[in-house]
Amino acid sequence: MELTRNGLTESVHRGAIVVAGPDGRRTKGLGHPAMPTFMRSAAKPLQAMPLYTTGAVTKFGLEPIEVAAACGSLNGEDFQREAVASMLGKAGLETSLLACGLQRPLHRPTAQALAQAGEKPTTLHSPCAGKHAAMLVMCAASGWSSEGYMDPGHPVQKLALSAVARMAAYPAEQIGIGVDDCGVPTFRVSLVALAGAFARLAAPGEADLEPQWAEAAEGIMAACLAHPEMIAGTGRICTRVMQAAPGALLAKTGSEGTYALALPGQKLGVGIQIEDGSFRALGPVVTETLHHLGVLSHEVLEGDLADLHRPVFKDYLGDPVGALTTVFGL
């Protein structure tokens, strides 16, 4: 995609897109399908699957909205914090156990309200509060100590790695391991493996998964599709595209230009990687990809999602001077 001024190219974002089926095979795309890609937050729905396989959902009576919170990169809005606190409370856990760190809420009105009240953010405001709460709940369900739950050698992190390896059909010993911004391990696989993982979420019945993992994928998808507001939050790309096509997709941002989509109606997964890590490129690329795959119509792209699909840049006087446009087809 490119940024233009007066019809002249000023800069270009390059990357790769892979569309895959539940067998992990690429069906279409652009760029190199084997591009190494850190999943970052796009791994959250996969990391949350053991909520089902450990029996935590049943044992603690977790609701779909709480499961969805475990899969999201949260805005820190009130309803999101309530869901995370509820999840912990059902397992008899204190919010003080969350080790995801403090971060200003991504939701600007929430951050402004905190500042005006003279209050500081808590761990519940972290975008990763849901993921960390889910890991603590898994520990409680499995009888594991929560001490050191962020360490790669802790049973809950080994379980997360196992879930990612299983869903990506990628040997665990070949998965690159880094540390995410919230302190827990993050995983690097090929872009086609990321797409395949989300295709298996989209169509677990078509994937070669053990019954308990297929049921977990079904639970994760049902929770996320029912609660798109928990996957990101007000005004954010994931929530907006999911609400624009209700029930048609799970959209999950990663970081540094990574993005993933699960399309249950088409039994497809999509992996996207912007090479320079640019966030600004994701809106146009994600919406254009969904248009090419028949999920978003011209009317939606030119209406409610116009600012995502073709962002317009203005000068200091408020006049439009440039635009980001996609220059690819699938």
Is residue 221 within 8 Å of 250, Cβ to Cβ?
A: yes
The mean pLDDT value for 143-163 works out to 98
Q: Which two tokens stand for residue 222?
A: 């049902």
The pLDDT, as a whole number, for residue 328 is 93
Per residue in 51-83, pLDDT tens?
A: 999 999 999 999 999 999 999 999 999 999 999
Residues 6+ apart with CB under 8 A from 299: none
Task: Name the CA radius of gyration of the chain, rounded.
Answer: 19
SS (H, E, C) 238-302: HHHHHHHCCCCCEEEECCCCEEEEEECCCCEEEEEEECCCCCCCHHHHHHHHHHHCCCCCHHHHH
Q: Which two tokens stand for residue 122?
A: 């808590």
The pLDDT, as a whole number, for residue 165 is 98
User: Which of 207, 199, 325 shows the shortest CA–CA distance to 269?
Assistant: 199
Is residue 119 within 8 Å of 105, Cβ to Cβ?
A: no
The pLDDT, as a whole number, for residue 247 is 97
Residue 119: pLDDT band with limits 50, 70, 90: very high
Residue 171 maps to which CATH number? 3.40.710
Per residue in 234-273, pLDDT tens?
A: 999 999 999 999 999 999 999 999 999 999 999 999 999 9
User: Which of 162, 141, 40, 47 shows the shortest CA–CA distance to 87?
Assistant: 141
Question: Is residue 330 one of the residues assigned to a domain?
Answer: no
The angle subtended at Cα 127 by Cα 122 and Cα 128, nearest 5°, is 95
Count of structural domains, the chain: 1
Question: Is residue 243 one of the residues assigned to a domain?
Answer: yes
Question: Each residue of 39-57: b (16+ CB within 10 Å) or e?
Answer: bbbbbbbbbbbbbbbbebb
The pLDDT, as a whole number, for residue 226 is 98
Q: What is the DSSP string of 309-323?
A: HS-EEE-TTS-EEEE
Domain that holds residue 235: 2-325
Question: Is residue 291 one of the residues assigned to a domain?
Answer: yes
Question: Is residue 42 one of the residues assigned to a domain?
Answer: yes
User: Which of 301, 300, 321 shows the shortest CA–CA distance to 309?
Assistant: 301
Instruction: For tokens 């939606």, name the residue.
Output: 300
Question: Is residue 67 one of the residues assigned to a domain?
Answer: yes
Question: Is residue 297 one of the residues assigned to a domain?
Answer: yes
Of the listed ranges 3-7, 68-72, 133-137, 268-272, the least confidently predicted one is 3-7
Residue 162: pLDDT band with limits 50, 70, 90: very high
The pLDDT, as a whole number, for residue 71 is 98
Measured between alpha carbons, how far is 258 from 262 in angstroms, rounded to an integer?
Answer: 14
Rounded-to-10 torsion of CA 113, 236, 190, 207: 110
Per residue in 192-202, pLDDT tens?
A: 999 999 999 99
Residue 205: pLDDT band with limits 50, 70, 90: very high
Per residue in 303-321, pLDDT tens?
A: 999 999 999 999 999 999 9
The pLDDT, as a whole number, for residue 232 is 98
Residue 10: pLDDT band with limits 50, 70, 90: very high
Question: Is residue 175 one of the residues assigned to a domain?
Answer: yes
Share of the chain above pLDDT 90, in %: 98
The angle subtended at Cα 247 by Cα 246 and Cα 250, nearest 5°, is 100
What residues pair up with 23 in beta bridges, in sequence order?
Answer: none
The pLDDT, as a whole number, for residue 206 is 94
User: Which of 280, 186, 198 shows the shortest CA–CA distance to 19?
Assistant: 198
Question: Is residue 28 one of the residues assigned to a domain?
Answer: yes
Q: Which two tokens stand for residue 287?
A: 């919406």
Per residue in 87-114, pLDDT tens?
A: 999 999 999 999 999 889 999 999 999 9
The angle subtended at Cα 69 by Cα 74 and Cα 305, nearest 5°, is 55
Q: Rounded to 5 degrees, what are φ and ψ at 191?
A: -60, -35
The pLDDT, as a whole number, for residue 191 is 98
CA distances from 200 to 167, 171, 223, 265 (A): 7, 16, 16, 12
> What ranges make up the beta strands (E) of the chain?
2-5, 8-12, 15-20, 26-30, 36-38, 176-179, 185-190, 250-253, 258-263, 268-274, 312-314, 320-325
The pLDDT, as a whole number, for residue 20 is 98
